[in-house]
Structure formats: structure tokens, C-alpha cells
A = this chain, B = another copy of it.
Amino acid sequence: MVNHELIKKITIYSFSNQVNSTNKTLDSLSDEQLALEIAPGKNSGIYLLGHLTAVHDFLLPLLGFGDKLFPELFEVFIKNSDKSGLVKPTAQQLRKQWSEVNAILLSKISALSVDDLFAKHTSVSEEDFVKEPHRNRLNVIMSRISHLAYHSGQMALLKKS
């Protein structure tokens, strides 16, 4: 296996690893626990789950995989904060959406060729991509893995010590 094939393997491994680790935390939390703030005055677990689902949903158009599955999440979980007063979906619904969007992402990323992985994402112009060739799909995926890890560490605080 040549180096650049390994890149794809490591990307998929890193992504699914972080999703699985987050799922383990989610599975250990009841819906009631998820409704709590991760620390006094901070975001609730359910807001973070919605935020992560909305951000991963946004990866679909960004990576050129098609339209968002749940565009309604953007308003509640990206554009607005936890305490906006906007009605949130139930924990049960968000758990399902989270699982759905990651299944599709993983299958689409797995189907990419290595060249596709190094191709530009949809929010960078052809001109800018010539100057900044690192603004590719791989870079976006890596950045979202870190974003997921960041909030996953916060949600883990809801687990009983």
C-alpha cells in the first residue's frame, strides 16, 4: 500500500474513531442527563449534540456529497445559542439524526478516491485553491474531527464520576 492510500485509511480511521468514542459517551447518558448543562451556566448536552449534528450535516454540501439532511438544525444549533429560547428537537430525535448523518458521511468519505480527498471543498474558489491547495476535503475532515473531539470532551463531563 502506497503512502497516499494510507492517508485515506488514516482519515477514515480518525473520523470513525472519534465518532465511536462520542457515541460511547452518548450511549452512557440518559436523555435527562443530556438535558443538563455540562458546567454551571454553560451549554447543555443536548445543545452540543444538536450543534455537532448540524455541523456534520453541513459537511454534506461542503464536501460535495449533496444537500443537508436536516437544514432546520442550522438555525437552532449554529446560528443561535443554547439559551435562544428556540424549540429544540427531542434527544431521541437528535440521537437518530446524529447517527444518520455520520453513517452517510462515513460511507461517502469511504467512497472517495485519494484524489477526491485532495480536491478542493465547495467553499473555496478555483482561483484560491491554486494558491492554497491545502484547502481540500481532507483538511476540512481533519478540522471537523478536532471540533468533534472538543465538544465530546465537554459532553463527557455529564457522565457520573
Contacts and interface: CB of A to CB of B under 8 A. Distances in A.
Contact of A161 (B41, B115, B149): B41
Interface in A23-48: 38-42
Interface string A117-161: 010000000000000011010110011011101111110110001
Contact of A139 (B1, B4, B13): B13
In the assembly, how many copies of this chain are there?
2
A2 B13 CA distance: 23
Given A142-B142, A157-B154, A133 B6 contact: yes
Name the interface size band of chain A: 35 or more
- Name the prevailing secondary structure of the A interface residues: helix
Given A3-B118, A7-B138, A10-B139, 16 more contacts: A3-B115, A6-B118, A6-B134, A6-B136, A14-B142, A14-B143, A17-B143, A39-B39, A41-B161, A147-B149, A150-B153, A151-B153, A152-B153, A154-B154, A154-B157, A157-B157
